[in-house]
Chain A
């Protein structure tokens, strides 16, 4: 009974010098959830751009059949007319327009050129009900959470009479409960006959919701796996993606946690930048030993990044109080340069937004935090600088023809390595790593874990913030759990499980445990 909704036959797309897609075949049946996985640069986005008409008919070779018809899209409008709607990783909502306005943006409910606001809001409410959202359609999009914004994107797609919904990394900026919410919605929509393609790096999510999984590697289809009859183990998917058996998702390190304390934070309290009476970090105390990786887990909004940023020379918040000791010495960190000079590094969760200078070269990015290491007085020693950058290119295996390359031309994984290299260059003793593997593919993730291991084996210590519990459990020696700005639990890696940690958060949110 399965009817093919979409069939892409031997798609090949070349850019000058690179073959982004090489003879890719994929079929999507009506009513299924089809996952497309692959490492960064495997060609997932290019394939979706061919499908949605961003690359017009004729600029690629091969055929796309939708509902049995050969597609000759000249642009997104053509594919949308057929009911193919793509939701990009970066949400495309306008923050200062209302939910209703956003939902019908480009698809306005109009009569003779005039917008029918009554109908707009009525229909907006209708679609919000389908995606399980209770909000006033007049609310501005900037005032609602990212999780809800993702739901609005889906509602917006539904409003276009979608037949094939394509989601590119729909949960990359969501926490676990919001992510599950989105995935459950996809499953509900599936029952109502919506077919979807989901692209994701999070393999647990894919095994959770996908019926079939197509794996791309280096621009070619490797295989399509059936996830419906029997659940496919994640290791099996990873093997297809990287082309080899990955027995260890997390590299082991020779345990060398020392007794000496590298960093100690005592009674740390920080208030919100804009609302100075709201506590964001609430009386936090924590310790990092030398050679230790300490995880901080918490839901989004628990105050993890804010904690790390305020330790890093009060880069966030106001009215910070509390004490920071490093190697037993009380520190006065009033600015970012203070923190850098105290050999603390903060690796941001948002490499494009606040980590790298995209328009600058790799060299200029790496040396930026400690220009004094490569200069005499105010004069930069450009040769020394270049040599230094070359050293990090080799030791971190940053794939680029030259360190003079602009960072904006690198892939996500390589950008992340530049970001890490930049802070390793600053010679830190303590690294505050905020989501160090966000948006990075499996292979690069493994490399980044290895880099972290090498650093702590040298006696440095790392505070590891992540939204992925498996990663925290796999990498950390000790784990702090945060909720609403407070530390609500501390576990050794051996005793911690996903259930224990999630239960602790749930209990705390219900208020069953006091502070």
Chain B
């Protein structure tokens, strides 16, 4: 019981953000008179935010290493899109191979930046600021300032299409795309089964387990939510392909950060680099890999985004880095590194996405939207900082004690 309370307190910010997200969805659902959660709009939301989620996950790993950010991702998105356009549209290469090649280019870019950051100890801010300019410039050079369009269907299929309906004649519960609904139900069942099996297995081995009620509540909330989402998707055109890509990225990185040795080392590195090094963590290599991974995911996002635009544009991806960084911080990542989760980042990205989409539906001008987004980011992070100081048992960090006591005096 105690351990559950501890876990709860440690993840408090994430739960608060989740509650805030639900509140935001309800608010916009009312304000937009039900448009927000219409099947077509939900589908839209997924397409609009897929690349932000992918970028934010990569950004999270960089932030975890010690509050390092990557400013170059927007430019990398554009450069990868430009390469894809050149290979496929101009030179007529095979789209599938071209995509692999583009991912390779992403990895090379990551190695370039990672080398300077991890091994030459140049601050990430500076290296990636340079990258932001260099890769944007290269994009303009590759495209010669022009936009390439359109892409062949084989390329677009990866991310703009929908999963094929296997049972077009069948109509369950009055939805158009039965396959989607079945997939949703299947996912929910798999989720419940793994939870129960895991629970029983741990109990049999004599490990500490959470209460049965906690398990039931968890399943009772998550399973219907999953089924409901797929029901909505099924009522429109089914599961967007890009949702599969995002789903894989989320699952893979969530597992990586929470269940693997290297993921754990990442948190250690960001929490205290010296201590991590003295505990046998290969800190430089880890930092290097975080940036290689970031650029790889930026390449994935670049391919997805070019497909969505159905063109390779020199202006693509501008200010994407800010959306990605904002999502991480909204989702509870610490600006000093070592704190943050993939789940939180997803919540942060969705929050931003729903805010954008909802305000657009309401017809609020994009100028005002920017102001609102900026303020929301500040308020969310500030609310966290303030609430933290008021929590019981919160012992101030000693390293910063002088500063903190000073601050509390001033206020």
Contacts and interface: CB of A to CB of B under 8 A. Distances in A.
A491 B408 CA distance: 51
Given A355-B275, A369-B279, A402 B261 contact: no
B275 A354 contact: yes
Contact of B405 (A76, A353, A379): A76
B276 A357 contact: yes
B214 to A, nearest CB: 14
Contacts, number: 132
27 contacts: A17-B393, A18-B393, A75-B409, A88-B401, A88-B402, A336-B277, A354-B278, A355-B275, A358-B271, A358-B397, A361-B10, A368-B264, A368-B268, A369-B279, A371-B261, A375-B261, A378-B260, A379-B259, A379-B260, A380-B264, A383-B207, A387-B208, A401-B6, A402-B5, A406-B10, A408-B397, A409-B395
Interface string A383-413: 1001100100000000001111110110000
B282 interface: yes
Interface of B: 2-3, 5-7, 10, 202, 205, 207-208, 259-262, 264-265, 267-268, 271-272, 274-282, 334, 338-339, 392-395, 397-399, 401-402, 405-406, 408-410
Interface residues of A, number: 53
Contact of B2 (A54, A75, A401, A422): A401
A315 B276 CA distance: 12
A328 interface: no
Nearest to A412: B398
Contacts of A368: 264, 268, 276, 279-281
Interface in A256-285: none
Contact of A405 (B6, B207, B394): B6
A386 B280 CA distance: 21
A77 B271 CA distance: 34
A467 interface: no
Given A75-B409, A90-B399, A315-B277, A387 B260 contact: no
A231 B216 CA distance: 66
Contacts of B408: 54
A369 B394 CA distance: 28
Nearest to A419: B275
A77 B260 CA distance: 50
A357 B275 contact: yes
A387 B206 CA distance: 10
A508 to B, nearest CB: 30
B274 A364 contact: no
A357 B2 contact: no
Contact of A360 (B261, B267, B402): B267
B5 A401 contact: yes
A509 interface: no
Given A336-B280, A357-B267, A364-B264, A76 B409 contact: yes
A143 interface: no
Interface string A49-60: 100011000000
Given A357-B338, A359-B334, A383-B205, A369 B280 contact: yes
B282 A402 contact: no
Contacts of B279: 336, 340, 368-369, 422
Given A336-B279, A346-B278, A383-B202, A360 B268 contact: yes
A382 interface: yes
Nearest to B402: A92
Interface in A328-346: 336-337, 340, 346
A348 interface: yes
B392 A348 contact: no
A162 to B, nearest CB: 18
Nearest to A367: B264
B340 to A, nearest CB: 10
Nearest to B395: A409
A315 B278 contact: yes
Contacts of A76: 405-406, 409
A369 B274 CA distance: 13
Contacts of A357: 267-268, 271-272, 275-276, 338
Contacts of B267: 357, 359-360, 364
Given A337-B282, A401-B6, A402-B3, A408 B275 contact: no
Contacts of A315: 277-278
Contact of A382 (B259, B275, B282): B259
By CB atoms of chain B within 10 A, which of A18, A357, A409, A422 has the most? A357
Contacts of A375: 260-261
A401 B205 CA distance: 22
A386 to B, nearest CB: 6
B10 A386 contact: no
A335 to B, nearest CB: 8
Contact of A356 (B272, B339, B394): B272
A360 B264 CA distance: 10
Nearest to B336: A359
Given A353-B275, A364-B268, 17 more contacts: A15-B392, A17-B393, A54-B409, A90-B399, A336-B279, A340-B280, A353-B399, A354-B272, A354-B274, A357-B276, A357-B338, A359-B267, A359-B271, A359-B334, A360-B268, A372-B261, A383-B207
